[in-house]
Structure 1
């Protein structure tokens, strides 16, 4: 079959693919909408990719649909359909801020209209970055947050779906978070009483929002006032394990908020260590293991957390097993867990358990193999030195390692 030559001006300068929705920016260069939106808004670039000139205009003024070129491309595709070229459908026009504001006003009229507007917003949010940006600037996030705080029935499901799919900027996340725990408390209630879908979106939103508190000192106090119910509900999501994304977000969330001392104790009281260890027993997925070990690392910085890890029959075993089997990050976090236990909670029975589980042999491997570099080697040696007299009698430790690393004759 004869090869079809695509006219070069049909191709997007960024992706070199045929443009489905050509738009022209202020420098006069035409791009495919999806590609240039990712460049400008996701990549936070304020220049033209080709000319490197600064872009002018704001929001929708950045992108002007090139309708003539789009029709030429569609006609060319139709003409060459016999060669397997598919015609691109005419794209939907991006929503406008005035249209969104009109929808928000209509939503306040009746409960039936509110439900209809939420369904409309639900269909708009996933379409493209321009819609999401326009919806955020029109105040949709604040509108949805208010619904979640005041509603206890079905509208909450749609509101959470839209709010999650908006992919809010840091400023947008901070605007709905506010300066008190009211919205956090609302999402905690959703995690307790909502559907599986709503619970998943609630924990994913909490993960995103509470990450922003580390970037804004004025909001950092919010993570210090989290109540015990919050931790119980996050742990319950991990226990139910109904969604991989929700579980990962819950692990990420716990690792973040447990950087505060009181939160570690609350998480331990809520049973976080037990459920994380159970989850780690069933997976070797890299990111899952890394975040699970991160939670255990934080918990092991307090006595209550270490006690919970040691109380679990597989606590020490699963941590040791993940070292050298997952990633360098997992190695570092696993060794920090073992160090905290060996330094602060190593009763004779705990040290004996570590010997029986082959923890000493794993530490020797870390020191000896190539991936045990830098701080990992040092940390493994420190753990061995902490209980050198007990380790020296273990048949798992090479004699030269005992003399050269542990320093016991």
Structure 2
């Protein structure tokens, strides 16, 4: 039964300029104007050689299907069917799905109104999971946003809107490989500027936009290739290191750390972090008093990661404050933080026998921490590494080590 209270407005972009009806099979002429296939075919069959809307002489009478517009019309039609057969909902100031489809169409056709259209879409996406699903199902939407990252003339403010909208829907995308291919430069595809734009937002954007940019970058770091492509972008890692200082907003710091963790697994990425002074930056964070558990865990994870390289271990060992801060986090934050901290200490003190690091651990009362850890309900891996550390510090053989099977094989945890 059709509802009497539903007033239906057909987006003007969906109407054929000839018949004024909603297009069933939209096709575009060489002039860029789109018509319904049946209407324009009749026009051409009657001997006309001009575009009906612009009256330009056609260089060719061939036309191509407008798949994007056809998909938008289909989604609008499905949405309309749902509204006609669902109970009325309270009046809302949020844009409707019809209005959002119009906004998406205007993003493609009206450069003068793109900022307002993106703001409307962002408000719509923020409202609910259902709305974000709707936007992702609109197949042209995400490629359209990425296209603005590649070719943008609206300045940083417009980029902020693009990145914010992209961040809102990116979590709903299942095809991360496709998203990676859209955003990252691929051989033979020309010079894409997506990562440049995301870096510009990190450098000059608002705090919320910086967070969105870091989240988008993390979302496309899905394999070794993408992690290296992102990490090797000139200026990107150094900018992120500037943003993870104790003075910055905790949400910004955590999202930047999450991204750095995501791209740090390849050896070249680790080396770049070390070269750019990541150890000193992370040491300052570990010494801060206001860090959350999740931030501390991510900092220690990065420290553990760089400790798997000779250069990273050297930097850690030369910074006695860093070693002391690592010791201080054992048994104090969480089991995850403790495991990252112990793995780092095991790496520099036991595996690579650095005397400076061993002295720093001793001065920081690390032996007591390790003994307490051995008596706690820690994981087998942490217990083995703790036992290895105690051997290095010449703990009496009649201590807690006597009950430990020293023949157990230990696998290096990275």
Q: Which residue of 2 aligns with 1:315?
A: 322
CA-to-aligned-CA distance 1:105-145 (integer Å, 9 cap, x gap)? 32344443112212221221111222211212223222222
1:232 aligns with 2:238: yes
Deviation of residue 198 (structure 1)? 2.3
Aligned-pair distance for 1:264? 0.4
Identify the residue that residue 340 of structure 2 maps to in structure 1.
Answer: 333
Give 4+ residue runs of structure 1 displaced > 4 Å after superposition: 58-66, 91-94
C-alpha separation in 1, matches of 2:149 and 2:208: 14
| Equivalent residue in structure 2 for 1:346, among 348, 353, 360 | 353
| 1:189 alignment partner in structure 2 | 200
Q: 2:366 aligns with which of 359, 365, 369?
A: 359
TM-score by length of 1: 0.68
SS of 1:224's partner is helix
1:358 to partner: Cα distance: 1.6
CA separation of 1:234/1:281 partners in 2, compared to 1, >3 Å: closer, same or farther?
A: same
> What's 1:149 paired with?
150
Which structure would you say has the larger Rg? Answer: 2
Deviation at 1:247, TM superposition (A): 1.2
- CA deviations 1:218-260 (Å, max 9, x no partner) are xx41212331522112211113753322211221222221111
Tell me which residue corresponds to 2:399: 401
2:249 maps to which of 243, 251, 255: 243
Query: Partners of 2:356 and 2:171 in 1: how far apart?
Result: 50
CA, structure 1 residues 251+143, in 2 after alignment: closer, same or farther (shift >3 Å)? Answer: same
In structure 1, list runs of 5 or more residues that go unmatched: 1-57, 71-88, 215-219
Identify the range of structure 1 (137-146 vs 252-261) with the bigger mean alpha-carbon deviation.
Answer: 137-146
CA RMSD of aligned residues (A): 3.0
Partner of 2:215 in structure 1? 204
Matches within 5 A, 1:286-305: 286-305=293-312
Kindly report which structure 2 residues correspond to 1:278-289, keeping only aligned pairs within 5 A, or say none: 278-282=284-288, 283=290, 285-289=292-296
Q: CA deviation at 1:167?
A: 4.6
Q: Which digits, 9 at most, give the CA deviation of each residue in 1:247-295, with x for residues without a partner?
A: 1122122222111111100111122222122112224522111111111
Match of 1:38 in 2: none
1:256 paired residue among 239, 249, 262: 262
Match of 2:381 among 371, 375, 378: 375
SS in 2 for 1:325: coil
The Cα of 1:373 is off from its aligned counterpart by 4.3
Q: List gaps (5 residues or longer) in structure 2.
A: 1-76, 186-191, 406-414
Contact 2:387 2:401 in 1 (8 A): no
Distance in 1 between residues matched to 2:257 and 2:120, nearest whole Å: 32
* 2:129 is the counterpart of 1:126: no
Inter-CA distance 59–163: structure 2 relative to 1 (3 Å threshold): farther
Q: Secondary structure at the match of 2:399?
A: helix
Residue 178 (structure 1) aligned with residue 181 (structure 2): yes
SS in 1 for 2:127: coil
> 2:282, 2:299 within 8 Å by CA — same for their partners in 1?
yes
- 1 CA distance for matches of 2:335 and 2:181? 37
- 2: distance between equivalents of 1:356 and 1:342? 14
Post-superposition Cα deviations, 1:75-102, rounded to whole Å, max 9, x if no partner, equal xxxxxxxxxxxxxx54568843x65443
Partners in 1 of 2:401 and 2:206 — Cα distance?
59
Shift of 1:197: 3.0
In structure 2, C-alpha distance between the alignment counterparts of 1:120 and 1:91, rounded to whole Å: 14
**Whole-Å Cα distance in 2 between the matches of residues 122 and 319 of structure 1?**
41
**Cα–Cα, structure 1 residues 405 and 147, in superposed 2: closer, same or farther, change >3 Å?**
same
Q: CA deviation at 1:404?
A: 2.9
Residues 348 and 141 of structure 1: CA distance in aligned 2, closer, same or farther (over 3 Å): same
C-alpha distance in 1, partners of 2:134/2:329? 45
Q: Secondary structure at the match of 2:156?
A: coil
**Aligned-residue offset at 1:376:** 1.6
CA deviations over 1:337-374 (Å, ceiling 9, x no partner): 11111135433333222222222221111112x33342
The residue aligned with 1:21 is none
The residue number in structure 2 matching 1:163 is 166
- Number of residue-to-residue matches in the alignment: 315
Alpha-carbon distance between aligned partners in 2 of 1:110 and 1:91, rounded to the nearest angstrom: 26
**SS of 1:143 mapped into structure 2:** helix
| SS at structure 2 position matched to 1:259 | coil
